[in-house]
Chain A
Amino acid sequence: QVQLQQWGAALLKPSETLSLTCAAYGGSLSGFSCNWLRQPPGKGLEWIGQVDHRGVSTYNSSLKSRVSISRHTSANQIFLNVRSVTAADTALYFCAGHWPRVTPSGGFHPWGQGTPVTVSS
């Protein structure tokens, strides 16, 4: 069964670049799409974007100008970069899997453990 483990820098200064990695292991990744999401303190969940099984990335328009998501297929790793961060980017960041080709109406599972990121001068 596929599991996700994520890591990256937890404390950034304004204008720096947030970089996180999500590693997938333990099962078949055929048809796997990897999503990045975030949750500001005390608030709800926001979808940032995804990279699908073909390597095609899609982004939330609210962040599109600052975000890039890519994958290193052979290493089963997926990367998130958010440029020019501000305090508003402070949040708990998650990666989450999705298999739309296998289960079109399926949900996001599994999830990484979450990485808290704080942006502060």
Chain B
Amino acid sequence: DIQMTQSPSSLSASVGDRVTITCRASQSVSDYISWYQQMPGKAPKLLIYGASTLHSGVPSRFSGSGSGTDFFLTISGLQPEDFATYYCQETYSSPFSFGPGTNLEIK
């Protein structure tokens, strides 16, 4: 199975900041990486798929990059509604593993 790691596990930032979350796969997954935002008790929301393609309706301040094993989610100009937990996921092969999550908190 492919193992996914994320860093940092938690992050404090202020409204207007630019932040980057890193996701690493234990083997190459090409561009089969998605990023999700999750609020407590709610279903995750798809932000990015194919490593860099913005899902419909997602604000352009979210962007994704990377290929192979190393991937990045960047949020430029944090808004109050962006403080949440973020997960990466590989859809290259089952069991479609998720990273452990990054909790983005208000500083």
Instruction: Tell me how many residues of A have a C-beta within 8 Å of chain B.
Output: 26
A61-87 vs B, Cβ < 8 Å mask (1 yes, 0 no): 110000000000000000000000000
Size range of the chain B interface in the assembly: 20 to 34
Q: How far is the CB of B70 from chain A (nearest CB, A)?
A: 16
A residues apposed to B, CB below 8 Å: 35, 44-47, 50, 58, 60-62, 92, 94, 96, 98, 100, 103-109, 111-114
Which label, helix, strand, loop or mixed, suits the secondary structure of the B interface?
loop
Q: Does B30 contact A (CB under 8 A)?
A: yes
Contact between B36 and A107 (Cβ–Cβ < 8 Å)? Answer: yes
Which one of B46, B95, B101 contacts A107 once the chains associate, using CB atoms below 8 Å? B46
> Are A106 and B95 also in contact (CB < 8 A) when A44-B100, A92-B41, A112-B43 are?
no
Enumerate chain A residues within 8 angstroms of B32, measured Cβ to Cβ: 104-105
A94 to B31, CA, bound (A): 25
Q: Does B34 contact A (CB under 8 A)?
A: yes
